[in-house]
Structure 1
Amino acid sequence: MEQTATMAIDNREQFGALLEKHRGIVFKVANTYARNADDRADLAQEIAAQLWRAYPRYDPERAFSTWMYRIALNVAISQVRSSVQRGAHSVPLDETLHDVADENGADHEADQRVRALHRFISQLDGLNRALMLLYLEDRSYREMADILGITETNATTKISRLKQRIRTEI
């Protein structure tokens, strides 16, 4: 009984350390998929809860960040789907998240391009939005495929198509 309690404490501490180390993933996903601060906080909390529930099945032979992205994106995409089914509109990216212009607004053209990219991404379906998030994170096609449960060829093809759409639409 005492050994089980010690293992549970060790697991909790390991999970807490890993979550803290990779918490940026949770915030990036929440900021990409949630409309306002309250929704982002709720989504981040739900992601953390789902990560904790799934942690006993985590395989330490695999990268924690890959596993974490997969769960975080699945939770976010599920939440978006359920809000769409309830009649909510698509969830736009928070444009204040990635403000490129400096405090004085010196680079208006770059700022407008970033805002256009945000609008483009916010209109994508869950899988393509996740792909763009991972692409912008400089994840390899192999990592994208692993995280999203698709083939590397599929990830490569989808990213290529998204890039082409960006060139023509923005």
Structure 2
Amino acid sequence: MSSATTRNIKDANQKAATKLYPTRNDIPEGEREKVVAVMNARLAELIDLALVIKQAHWNLKGPQFIAVHEMLDGFRSGIDAHVDEVAERLVQLGGTALGTVQLVSQNTSLASYPADIHRIEDHLKALADHYAGVGATVRKSIDEVEGYGDADSSDLLTGVSRTLDSNLWFIEAHMQEGA
């Protein structure tokens, strides 16, 4: 049995969130701290999005089930790849990736995903809202980390933004009536 208390774990998580580890990366420490904070915020949202994609994937019901079910599998794989890239980037900068479910829950800016929906249309609307929310914060962060002197993190987030926009387009196309 672990002797760690909830308070000790929360205190350790707070210290991990703010402490930078030594690196020879030439971005000044103060700027790296800011980038790590931004990237951890985006990490929380991307993990949250990955989880809600699976929530929808498992619980879809309706006539287009198999098409949407398989589409969401591909979306999840793409988001998982970006989660890994974002987490690894902030660790490269000397930070700690904060990716536990508890920390994600504390740090995501996304609204809670409804657990009581099943119709494909309802899931697509909820997913579109989540994709739009993450897309907006990622786009804001592209310029923000560039301003901190980290063109590499900015470039990484640009790739994330393209994936989010592409997936949102597919979701919205499923929701729209033909011309």
Give me the TM-score of the superposition, normalised by structure 2: 0.32
Give me the TM-score of the superposition, normalised by structure 1: 0.33
